Structure 1
Amino acid sequence: MGLLTASIFLGMMVGGYMWGYLADQKGRRRVLVMSLTVNGLFGGLASLAPWFWLFLLMRFISGIGVGGSLPVIFSYFSEFMPRLRRGAMISCLATFWMAGNILAAGLAWLVIPRTWVQFFLGALDFKSWRVFVVLCSVPSISSALIFKLFMPESPKFLMEANREKEAIQVFRLMFKLNMKGKEKALPEFGLHTSSTQKGDKDKSRSLGSSKERLANILKKALAPIKKIFQSPFRSRSIPLLIIFYSISFGYYGLWMWFPELFERTEDGGSPCANVSRPSVAANETCVTVKTAVYTDGFITAAANLPGNIFTILVMDSIGGKALLSGSLLLSSLSVFFIYVVQTKAQSLILSCIFSGVSVIAWNALDVVGTELYPTKLRSSALGFFTGVGRVAAIMGNLVFGRLVDANCAVPILLVSALLLTGGLVGLLLPQTRQTELT
């Protein structure tokens, strides 16, 4: 389980900054189409893998695509939103993460236990779990097509890139859609941008040896990371780095191992007291999974709904900073009590509380992250921090995998401590509520 989970997070770590940097250079829309295509294509191909190592490789490449979609979509979306409603609208966008979790859990529940969903594709035994993997790739492919055919480029990016005529066309389209049914003419307007990208040539194409050209490419690609840790961004980047690491280690480390902890409390007692595991015969190729796993996963995913509704209602009035710190502190407390539960019902209730509270932190982080950096650095910064988050997610899974049998109290209390740290560090971030995007 640890390897399978780590493979996609490793891909997301690689893809996060790579796609984020390209989005700041080439455009949000183009990068979204490419990253979604990579995610969907290789996610679907994983269903055909005859060997476990090849399945891991396909999931890794699919994860590279996922790594691009996450930071870039928030940059893209935020750059269309009005200042006074941006927090609520980004929170609405983040709600679809919950919807995806619910859909995935419900789909797994409907498809994987069905033994009749099985057929042979040549020599490959196409079992129900392979059908599930294919179905999970459909949203990415369909989203890539929608963006390619119907969605415009971000006007903020176009202005930053000195593509003013294209930006004006996008604004005209926005006005036409917003004023549909109202007879109003678009007023005359001009664009003002402080962009310094005009005439900036790609130095990596200059003459020189291949080694020098490669060095120039790497220098240019890593320049945004250097900038976000220099003044005036250093004071916000370091706290954000700690927060992304803390919440990713805690959330993903705990989320992926919830089914294991649920199973250990079925007969009563602390999840850290029951460490016996079922033995698997040498000739077994598949372990039967109890239907309760899908039920619990579905309930835990649905528990995000109250937190999502709450952030939509109060994000613009309270601000992302307060919600981020408060949510992380409450998440830390809920994780601590998972260690002392005695029944499966108590474990499920606490995991639902953790899911509902921690999603507030994720939504606030999405809002704050987009508001802390200017357009020319926004996607690169979000890509870098989500990459750091994937490193933390991998470490969280490996730590749980190693210690869940030996001493599961250690990773649970470690998660609680990290979330507490993230909540306190969040107080150091500047207040960005309803500020203009630069």
Structure 2
Amino acid sequence: MTPICNITRVGFRPICFSPTLFWYELSSRKQIDQEMEYQRLIDNQDERDVEETGSETLYEDALKQTGYGRFHWLVLFLCGWAVSSDAIEVLSVSFMLPSAQKDLDMSSVDKGWLNAIIFVGMMIGGYFWGSLADRHGRRTVLLGSLTVNGLGGLVSSTSQVFWLFLLARFISGIGVGGSIPVIFSYFTEFQPKDRRGKMISALATFWMFGNIIAAGLAWSVIPRDIGYHSASFKYNSWRIFVALCTIPSLTSAVFFIFMPESPKFLLTIGQNRKALSVLKFIHKKNKQPSSYKVTSLVLDPDHRPIHLTHQDTGCVSSISRNLKSLASISGELFRPPLLRSSVIMLIINFTLSFGYYGLWMWFPELFSRVEKYGGSPCDHHVGPPNRTTNSTGAMDKDWIYFSGFLTALSNLPGNLLTIYLMDQLGRKLLLSSSMVASGVCVFFIPLVRDKWQNLGVSCLFGAVSTVGWNALDVLSTELFPTNVRSTSMGIQTGVGRIAAIFGNVIFGELVDVHCSIPMILVSGLLVFGGLTSIRLPSTVRTDIH
């Protein structure tokens, strides 16, 4: 059957009705007619708005009048699936390192660079995509970044040499770097202030689900003797695992084709009627009993919309205009009144990312060493010697991936805690206490004497650090106004990626010397970042601008 498509003029996705594409709400012919009728309503919106009269309604009040229902839960699921896809792509490399070491002929230093290269891509992608999202919209950027993420991962699964695998992971990182900051901006702009803290915390929990999915896939696929082998080409189990990890990002890109643009972004750039149409759409999907009475929108009484121009003046002029716009948006972050918050958030992102990713990406390798040789993970200073393992290779691998799975699952208590306490205790207290406690956990890792103690401390670190990440995600979206929000998150995550690069490379350089050295460094940075976060302002139940 040929799909019937109606492209709207208001930042909506194309509405296509076919047996395969009409996923948004599977229903009867009556539902299809309702969708088409609503699209005709949007097409005539400009003309009708001219005739409508009424006082202007603040965006927060207008958003509250849409109700809270099925549309918001759908946005949570779709954005959460995208967050999970990013977690899977970032963490997948750490799970395949032990198995890929022989195929790609990697040393510990090579492993450190492989863990780090995705963060190099994320650093570049975070600023590039984040700035574009503040100029061209959240939805369009999400489509592009998620697609780049998935395609880069697919290419890496076929790479037969280390340098090509490294390049493909870099490209994948560019995609991941764009989707993470933009997803949180997009999601936040649909949330009323009385639910915002809890719902952003709920969205952040999907990183844990991505971690669990990656660990579960690794445990199910990598230890198995499956795949294709020839004289010149290998596609074994760890490569299949890498390919499977791209499915969430590619499906997320497809899902966002059918989603509307952020109404707050539309309002920020002066497209008030289009923003109102999106809010009416949300009200309709939430099936509110009363009609939507808002007829005119304003972001806040003093807001001056940013009008974006799109003159067709040639490629060079277009690039120059976009670069100037990106520089202008970025400059706002480092001038009062945003300067103080920007600097503090950059310090926190650096210390938390260095500590978390510098250690977390190496957990499977540390579990592998403890399982093979026993004792503390820091007892084996000069690479893996030739020793007889305590069990068969299959059992060793099962323990490694079981440990990774359990460590990922340990994030659940921290996620549930933040959903409940984010608005009660506040973002600052949760962030500060979490980072200090995480630093204390890391300090004790070199002191453990067997694999169960190592697993216990690692799980405790995962549970405690999750609280800090969730609080940081909420603060990152609330501290900055709509017109610079995605750029701000892109810069913050970019600095975090630089820290993650340093963390992984330093860990790779020192893990065979004595791993207690990077452990102490990680512990100190986490405590310092936690104390710095006390200087941030409170954003509990405040309006976002």
Give 1:268 deviation, angstroms.
4.5
1:348 is matched with which residue?
A: 455
Give 1:327 deviation, angstroms.
0.5
Match for 2:161: what amino acid? W
Report the TM-score when normalising by structure 1: 0.92
Tell whether 2:349 aligns with 1:237: no
Q: CA 1:426/1:44 → structure 2, altered by over 3 Å: closer, same or farther?
A: same
Is the 2:507–2:515 contact (alpha carbons within 8 Å) kept by the matching residues of 1? yes
2:291 is matched with which residue?
A: 185
Q: How do residues 129-144 of structure 1 correspond to structure 2 at under 5 angstroms?
A: 129-144=238-253
Tell me how far apart the structure 2 counterparts of residues 135 and 361 of structure 1 sit (CA, whole Å): 29
For the residue of structure 1 that corresponds to 2:403, the secondary structure is helix
Tell whether 2:223 aligns with 1:92: no
Is the 2:364–2:404 contact (alpha carbons within 8 Å) kept by the matching residues of 1? yes
- Please list the CA deviations of residues 304-342 of structure 1 after superposition, one character each: whole Å capped at 9, or x if unmatched: 000000001111122111111111111111111112222
Within the candidate set 397, 411, 422, 1:304 is matched to: 411
Tell whether 2:215 aligns with 1:105: yes
Name structure 1 gaps, 5 residues minimum.
281-286
Match for 1:354: what amino acid? F
Tell whether 2:162 aligns with 1:162: no
Tell me how far apart the structure 1 counterparts of residues 356 and 218 of structure 2 sit (CA, whole Å): 21
For the residue of structure 1 that corresponds to 2:361, the secondary structure is helix
- Please list the CA deviations of residues 91-137 of structure 1 after superposition, one character each: whole Å capped at 9, or x if unmatched: 1111110000000010011011110x212599532211111111100
1:388 is matched with which residue?
A: 495
Tell whether 2:277 aligns with 1:277: no
Tell whether 2:237 aligns with 1:128: yes
Q: CA 1:268/1:42 → structure 2, altered by over 3 Å: closer, same or farther?
A: closer
Tell me how far apart the structure 2 counterparts of residues 75 and 189 of structure 1 sit (CA, whole Å): 25
Is the 1:265–1:342 contact (alpha carbons within 8 Å) kept by the matching residues of 2? no
Give 1:187 deviation, angstroms.
1.4
Give 1:199 deviation, angstroms.
4.2
For the residue of structure 1 that corresponds to 2:253, the secondary structure is helix
Q: How do residues 22-37 of structure 1 correspond to structure 2 at under 5 angstroms?
A: 22-37=132-147
Tell me how far apart the structure 1 counterparts of residues 219 and 318 of structure 2 sit (CA, whole Å): 51
2:175 is matched with which residue?
A: 65
Name structure 2 gaps, 5 residues minimum.
1-110, 387-392
Tell me how far apart the structure 1 counterparts of residues 307 and 475 of structure 2 sit (CA, whole Å): 31
Is the 2:381–2:512 contact (alpha carbons within 8 Å) kept by the matching residues of 1? yes
Please tell me whether Structure 1 or Structure 2 has the larger radius of gyration of its CA atoms.
2
Tell me how far apart the structure 2 counterparts of residues 401 and 11 of structure 1 sit (CA, whole Å): 19
Tell me how far apart the structure 2 counterparts of residues 121 and 137 of structure 1 sit (CA, whole Å): 24
Tell me how far apart the structure 1 counterparts of residues 271 and 467 of structure 2 sit (CA, whole Å): 36
Match for 2:261: what amino acid? E
Match for 2:378: what amino acid? C
Is the 2:272–2:298 contact (alpha carbons within 8 Å) kept by the matching residues of 1? no
In the comparison of the two structures, how many residue pairs are matched?
Answer: 425
Within the candidate set 357, 369, 380, 1:252 is matched to: 357
Match for 2:150: what amino acid? G
Is the 1:45–1:58 contact (alpha carbons within 8 Å) kept by the matching residues of 2? yes
For the residue of structure 1 that corresponds to 2:146, the secondary structure is helix
Is the 2:269–2:307 contact (alpha carbons within 8 Å) kept by the matching residues of 1? no
Match for 1:363: what amino acid? N
Is the 2:423–2:541 contact (alpha carbons within 8 Å) kept by the matching residues of 1? yes
Tell me how far apart the structure 1 counterparts of residues 463 and 174 of structure 2 sit (CA, whole Å): 28
Give 1:53 deviation, angstroms.
1.2
Within the candidate set 245, 261, 271, 2:366 is matched to: 261
Tell me how far apart the structure 2 counterparts of residues 54 and 195 of structure 1 sit (CA, whole Å): 49
Report the TM-score when normalising by structure 2: 0.74
Tell me how far apart the structure 2 counterparts of residues 217 and 172 of structure 1 sit (CA, whole Å): 32
Q: CA 1:153/1:217 → structure 2, altered by over 3 Å: closer, same or farther?
A: closer
Give 1:260 deviation, angstroms.
2.9
Within the candidate set 150, 153, 156, 2:261 is matched to: 153
2:37 is matched with which residue?
A: none
For the residue of structure 2 that corresponds to 1:290, the secondary structure is helix
Within the candidate set 531, 539, 542, 1:424 is matched to: 531
2:511 is matched with which residue?
A: 404
Is the 1:161–1:195 contact (alpha carbons within 8 Å) kept by the matching residues of 2? no
Is the 1:224–1:381 contact (alpha carbons within 8 Å) kept by the matching residues of 2? no
Match for 1:366: what amino acid? D
2:10 is matched with which residue?
A: none
2:31 is matched with which residue?
A: none
For the residue of structure 2 that corresponds to 1:339, the secondary structure is helix
> Larger RCO: Structure 1 or Structure 2 (Cα < 8 Å, ≥ 6 residues apart)?
1
Tell me how far apart the structure 1 counterparts of residues 232 and 496 of structure 2 sit (CA, whole Å): 39
Moved more, 58-67 or 314-323: 314-323
For the residue of structure 2 that corresponds to 1:2, the secondary structure is helix
Tell me how far apart the structure 2 counterparts of residues 162 and 122 of structure 1 sit (CA, whole Å): 61
1:176 is matched with which residue?
A: 284
Give the fraction of aligned pairs with identical amino acids, expressed as a percent. 51
- Please list the CA deviations of residues 54-93 of structure 1 after superposition, one character each: whole Å capped at 9, or x if unmatched: 1111111111000011000000001000101101100111
